[in-house]
Chain A
């Protein structure tokens, strides 16, 4: 089964294009995404402004590109934070077992029982709505699901012969854990990281839409949609393009995630076979 599934190609292509747009925005955008121009308010898509202008005369395409960098950057950092934190907790609980496991997992499961976005809302009440507050709140909110998956994987791995072999060779517990157990968690973590990126991107957009995201005038897809609402009747392009960006990116992530799961999840492979 060494071919690339069509949904992996399509998903990868979408993420690639969105990522390139985001990277490009850090170097160049058609207009300054923050430049206000009242003579060019609410212009429909046309020659000068390809995707139109908003209520302050700011270029929508430039803002979408800058927003891609903000939204995808925050999601990426949050995902990395949740993966690192969750892996640490899961590895400790799964490898040490006993009371460490019981106490860590009791809290983990209770946090897991909150809907992720609700936990993030609660944490945002403390951290405040800014870039680092969001990363911290969302990172903590999604950490428990990573810990669950890692712990489960470690539980089955630590019974394997190669772990015993490492111990018999006189390697310390910590060395065995990092050198032999951790690398075998990479496959399930890859699948999870892809879904996680999607969840976080959606959560970040939702929070921005609610006004609890990165504060304006900095653009995110979510806050662009929120500010489009009063003008939706006269300038519907303001509501169309940011939403399209979020949906297409999420579609790309979902397609890529499905393809990865099909390839890396042994349970799915059995069904396919």
Chain B
């Protein structure tokens, strides 16, 4: 078990390293002097020279990369050009806002989607199966930004049940904060259900074909215990892996939902800084989201043996 954990953690290191190389390369591909990019057009020559010195811009590229990586590891991501604030606290502030929405949706969706997918597989080719798969495929095909707009139109404007746009910090007014969270969370939740129902159905179908299920039925177990005790355990693994991927895609794609509901989250920060050409913030956001994505998938991998002990034996 310990070896399994150690191996998975070590496997994440090269991935993170190459991600860092990619982000470094990406920013260096932008035409122009990196020091000027990092300080903006209005910087004075003295501070430009100072930064050139600190980034080692007159030395070779590998040395520059080493200096840059050293700064990143010491959590120094530079300062925003537009606001002058340090980048990391800025990102963390915005991250909590996005993370809350994404996490609630990711925790709720499997509770509905996994049983629905199992039932669809169990009653395969029935009307119920067709209806569930059809609904999932339709939900999967609706982009989150349109789904969000539709919810906004229906519950915000026509029925007036929920506040239309904006965001309230949780500690100021918890009840209002929750109310503002309902629509963004519902948007992501509905979209994810589409993905997860289909995955859960596919992996349940595979398991139901196996001999031990026939055996379980042959020895007279009720369908309920065949499903719950024998099928679920083996069918849940692939769906669990997908949850990690979904979480990463949501973090990458959260910007559109934040735009629909005017939420000042991490996705919006990235898009705004692309508009403003605020390169230190762009670079910080890319590194941060990539890092979270790797960590989430690592955690998903490490928890996997809980659902399928066979993987540690490998």
Q: What residues of chain A have their CB less than 8 Å away from a CB belonging to chain B? A: 106-107, 109-111, 113-118, 121-126, 202, 205-206, 209-212, 222, 225-226, 228-229, 232-233, 236, 239, 242-243, 246-248, 250-251, 253-255, 258, 271
- Which residue in chain A gives the minimum CB-CB distance to B245? A115
Closest chain B residue to A107, Cβ basis: B18
Q: Flag whether B159 is at the interface (Cβ < 8 A).
A: no
Asked if A118 contacts B252 (CB within 8 A), the reply is yes
Known: A113-B15, A206-B256. A247 touches B141 (CB 8 A): yes
A–B pairs, 20, beta carbons within 8 Å? A113-B293, A113-B297, A114-B19, A115-B252, A115-B293, A117-B253, A118-B251, A122-B282, A125-B26, A206-B253, A229-B149, A229-B260, A232-B153, A232-B157, A242-B146, A243-B143, A243-B146, A247-B141, A250-B143, A251-B138
Q: Which of B30-79 contact A (CB under 8 A)?
A: 30
Interface band, chain B: 35 or more
The answer to whether B282 touches A110 (Cβ under 8 A) is no
- Asked if residues A233 and B157 are in contact (CB atoms below 8 Å), the reply is yes
With A and B bound together, what is the CA distance between A117 and B304 in angstroms?
26
Contacts of B22 in A (CB 8 A): 107, 110-111, 114
Residues 56-112 of B contacting A (Cβ, < 8 Å): none
Given A211-B275, A212-B271, A250–B23 Cβ distance below 8 Å?
Answer: no
Chain A residues with CB under 8 Å of B30's CB are 125-126
The answer to whether residues A210 and B256 also contact, given A106-B18, A111-B22, A246-B146 and a CB cut-off of 8 A, is yes
Q: A125-B274, A243-B146, A251-B141 are in contact. Are A209 and B256 (CB under 8 A)?
A: yes
Chain A minimum-CB-distance residue to B205: A271
Pick from A126, A209, A251: contact of B26, CB under 8 Å: A126
Whether the Cβ atoms of B249 and A247 lie closer than 8 Å is no
Contact call A123/B26, Cβ cutoff below 8 A: yes
Q: Please give the distance in Å from A49's CB to the nearest CB on chain B.
A: 21
Q: Are B14 and A106 in contact (CB under 8 A)?
A: yes
Check if A125 sits within 8 Å of B282, measured CB to CB: yes
CB neighbours (8 Å) of A236 from chain B are 153
- The distance in angstroms between the C-alpha atoms of A147 and B160, with both chains bound, is 49
Complex: A109 Cα to B19 Cα, angstroms = 9
Q: Flag whether B209 is at the interface (Cβ < 8 A).
A: yes
Given contacts A116-B252, A126-B26, contact A205 B271 (CB under 8 A): no
Residue from A246, A253, A258 within 8 A of B143 (CB atoms):
A246
Q: Which residues on A sit within 8 Å (CB–CB) of B282?
A: 122, 125
| Residues in B136-158 with C-beta less than 8 Å from chain A | 137-138, 140-143, 145-146, 149-150, 152-153, 157
Which residues of chain A are near B259, meaning CB under 8 Å?
209-210, 226
Q: Assess the A254–B137 pair: CB atoms within 8 A.
A: yes
